[in-house]
């Protein structure tokens, strides 16, 4: 019988509630034994989920000496760098949720710390586990559309007001901007589907709606599930936005990748419906998804006029949060910690998605001025290409 990995969680908010069932499995591989947060009711909620025995602290450094096997960093984005490097330096493996950090400099500092300490670093890009993304990637890899030339992603964020404009996300000091905070998921998927990384971006966008809402409140002692409601509609009727709202609610990014693929990403935080729509165009066809947690991917690969259903349809779906992605990503992380198991997103790929999001945000704020996206240092790229194992060792 194997011993449970001893897990700590930094930030006992919404993301913790979603991941808890996959993490806290006493006797079945992992057990959450410690947590940290600064909200008054966070500890009571944590005890309900993880039991009265959980060690709780308001300063993450109090968890450093507890002999943990791993921590999950699930705090607001601007805290990711310090919390992650503190645990890497203590030799504790880290699951760091996306975005890796809010600046390129912070990402590179985290990468350098992981390499210098040799401690395992895993970045939680759960969209690489979503069935919709997996089906599209399989079709591309099977040659269903020939060579990929263009990827366009439209992101309809109906929950935007509730999720991103009433909490820490609306303040650019905490996120840089939502093109990064939210869009980093899709930038990473675009990179994965294209097999390449963004090297040049232009962006446009602005704060086009929520800036007109006067109702403000300090919601820092609550999390977004406390106020979320489908009845909060239309967007201009929303109440209790954060005191600081200085991020864009509408943004459009154009990307050129290092293999010549062109991509776009559009994000709007006040649509009625909430989903992502990708189309991938290749030399011999086109893919498009309808639905993103459960739905179909359609393939057009014959010349024709308008045909709604395409030439082939592939269904997808899964149980649980993010179309089953969260139930899949946590076992992958635990296997990485325990057995050097392979991981689906390298930390360098996570860094490259942040870099494109940061440069895209700069472009938006410079009225569309193009930005070159700096590559990661070659020595860091080489280290992380080896699954963070000493040269010649273990899993690929
Ligand atoms: N991969 C995904 O699908 C996904 C989904 C949601 C959130 N996330 C990421 O997870 C992270 C957390 O997001 P969330 O939605 O849970 O936010 P949240 O606001 O619901 O929770 C964050 C928690 O961190 C706590 N916190 C703040 N400062 C702290 C500190 N100094 N020490 C300890 N705790 C502190 C807050 O009190 C709160 O409980 C973010 O980085 C976000 O991008 C990822």
Could you read off the pLDDT of 260-294 as tens digits, one per residue? 999 999 999 999 999 999 999 999 999 999 999 99
Specify whether domain 5-126+325-343+375-387 bears CATH 1.10.3720.10.
Answer: no
Q: Give the CA angle between residues 100, 372, 355 to the nearest 5°.
A: 5
Domain ranges of the chain: 5-126+325-343+375-387, 128-322
- Whether the link from the prior residue into 376 is cis, omega within 30° of 0, is no
Q: What is the dihedral of CA 373, 197, 279, 323, to 10 degrees?
A: -110
Ligand 1 centre to CA of 79 (Å) is 9
* Residue 60 · residue 10 · CB < 8 Å: yes
Write down the pLDDT at residue 389: 76
Tell me if 371 CB under 6 Å of ligand 1.
no
Ligand 1 centre to CA of 331 (Å) is 20
Ligand 1 centre to CA of 69 (Å) is 21
- Lateral strand order in the sheet of 93-97: 55-57, 30-36, 5-10, 70-73, 93-97, 121-124
Q: What is the DSSP code (8-state) at residue 55?
A: E
Distance CA 277, CA 268 (A): 12
Write down the pLDDT at residue 104: 98
Q: Give pLDDT tens digits for 205-243.
A: 999 999 999 999 999 999 999 999 999 999 999 999 999
Q: What is the DSSP code (8-state) at residue 49?
A: H
Write down the pLDDT at residue 321: 82
Res 395 pLDDT > 50 = no
Distance CA 315, CA 4 (A): 36
3-state class percentages of the chain: helix first, strand second, coil last, to nearest 5:
35, 25, 40
Nearest in space to 202 (alpha carbons), one of 181, 184, 179, 186: 179
Write down the pLDDT at residue 19: 98
Instruction: Give the number of the atom of ligand 1 that is nearest the alpha carbon of residue 59.
Output: 32
Write down the pLDDT at residue 396: 34
268, HSE (Cβ side, Cα atoms, 13 Å): 11
Distance CA 241, CA 211 (A): 10
Helices (H), 36-149: 42-50, 80-89, 104-117, 131-141
Tell me if 232 CB under 6 Å of ligand 1.
no
* Residue 170 · residue 240 · CB < 8 Å: no
Give every CB contact of residue 75 below 8 A, 6+ residues apart in sequence: 10, 11, 13, 83
Phi (first) and psi of residue 294, to 5 degrees: -135, 135
Residue-averaged pLDDT of the chain: 96
Write down the pLDDT at residue 387: 81
Res 53 pLDDT > 70 = yes
Structure tokens of 388? 């963070």
Q: Give pLDDT tens digits for 294-348.
A: 999 999 999 999 999 999 999 999 888 888 999 999 999 999 999 999 999 999 9
Lowest mean pLDDT across 298-302, 358-362, 381-385? 381-385
Burial class (CB in 10 A: 0-12, 13-18, 19+), 76: middle
Q: What is the DSSP code (8-state) at residue 236?
A: G
Res 37 pLDDT > 90 = yes
Query: Please, which pLDDT band fits residue 2 given cuts at 50, 70 and 90?
Result: low
Q: What is the mean pLDDT of residues 155-160?
A: 95
Q: What is the mean pLDDT of residues 14-25?
A: 97
How many CB atoms sit inside 10 A of residue 66's CB? 15
Res 259 pLDDT > 50 = yes
Res 6 pLDDT > 70 = yes
Structure tokens of 126? 């759960």
Phi (first) and psi of residue 134, to 5 degrees: -60, -40
Ligand 1 centre to CA of 34 (Å) is 16
Nearest CA to ligand 1 atom 21: 13
Nearest CA to ligand 1 atom 34: 37
Write down the pLDDT at residue 391: 55
Tell me if 36 CB under 6 Å of ligand 1.
yes
What CATH architecture does domain 128-322 belong to? 2-Layer Sandwich (3.30)
Distance CA 166, CA 388 (A): 38
Instruction: Give the number of the atom of ligand 1 that is nearest the alpha carbon of residue 39.
Output: 37
Phi (first) and psi of residue 67, to 5 degrees: 70, 35
How many CB atoms sit inside 10 A of residue 26's CB? 12
Q: When comparing pLDDT for 332 and 394, which is higher?
A: 332
Distance CA 177, CA 248 (A): 7
Write down the pLDDT at residue 390: 65
Instruction: Give the number of the atom of ligand 1 that is nearest the alpha carbon of residue 80.
Output: 41
Q: Give pLDDT tens digits for 101-145.
A: 999 999 999 999 999 999 999 999 999 999 999 999 999 999 999
Q: What is the mean pLDDT of residues 66-71?
A: 98
Res 393 pLDDT > 90 = no
Tell me if 60 CB under 6 Å of ligand 1.
yes
Pocket test for ligand 1, best of 46, 76, 81, 100 (most atoms within 8 A of CB): 76
Burial class (CB in 10 A: 0-12, 13-18, 19+), 43: middle
73, HSE (Cβ side, Cα atoms, 13 Å): 30
How many CB atoms sit inside 10 A of residue 352's CB? 28
Distance CA 168, CA 43 (A): 20
């Amino acid at each position: 019988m194997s011993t449970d990995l001893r897990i700590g969680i930094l930030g006992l908010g919404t993301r913790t509630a979603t991941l808890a069932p996959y993490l806290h499995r006493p006797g079945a591989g992992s057990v959450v034994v410690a947590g940290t947060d600064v909200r008054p009711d966070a500890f009571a909620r944590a005890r309900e989920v993880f039991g009265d025995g959980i060690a709780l602290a308001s300063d993450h450094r109090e968890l450093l000496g507890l002999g943990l096997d791993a921590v999950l960093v699930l705090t607001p984005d601007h805290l990711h760098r310090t919390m992650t490097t503190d645990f890497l330096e203590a030799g504790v493996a880290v699951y760091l949720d996306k975005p890796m950090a809010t600046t390129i400099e912070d990402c590179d500092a985290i990468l350098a710390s992981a390499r210098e300490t040799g401690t395992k670093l895993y970045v939680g890009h759960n969209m690489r586990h979503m069935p919709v993304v997996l089906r599209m990637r399989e079709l591309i890899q099977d040659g269903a559309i020939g060579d990929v030339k263009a990827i366009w992603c439209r992101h309809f964020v109906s929950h935007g007001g509730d999720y991103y404009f009433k909490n820490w996300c609306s303040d650019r000091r905490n996120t840089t901007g939502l093109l990064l905070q939210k869009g980093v998921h899709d930038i990473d998927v675009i990179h994965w589907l294209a097999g390449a990384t963004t090297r040049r971006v232009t962006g446009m966008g602005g704060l086009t709606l929520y800036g007109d809402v006067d109702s403000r409140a300090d919601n820092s002692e609550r999390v977004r599930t406390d106020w979320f409601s489908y009845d909060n509609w239309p967007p201009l009727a929303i109440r209790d936005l954060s005191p600081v709202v200085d991020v864009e609610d509408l943004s459009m990014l154009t990307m050129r990748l290092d293999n010549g693929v062109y991509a776009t990403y559009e994000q709007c935080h006040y649509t009625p419906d909430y989903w992502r729509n990708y189309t991938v165009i290749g030399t011999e066809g086109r893919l498009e998804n309808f639905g993103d947690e459960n739905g179909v991917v359609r393939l057009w690969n014959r010349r024709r006029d308008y045909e709604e259903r395409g030439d082939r349809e592939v269904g997808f779906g899964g149980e649980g949060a993010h179309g089953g992605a969260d139930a899949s990503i946590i076992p992958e992380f635990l296997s990485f910690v325990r057995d050097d198991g392979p991981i689906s997103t390298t930390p360098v790929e996570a860094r490259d998605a942040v870099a494109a999001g940061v440069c895209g945000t700069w472009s938006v704020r410079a009225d569309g001025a193009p930005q070159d996206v700096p590559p990661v240092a070659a020595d860091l790229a080489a280290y992380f290409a080896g699954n963070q194992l000493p040269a010649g060792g273990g899993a690929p």
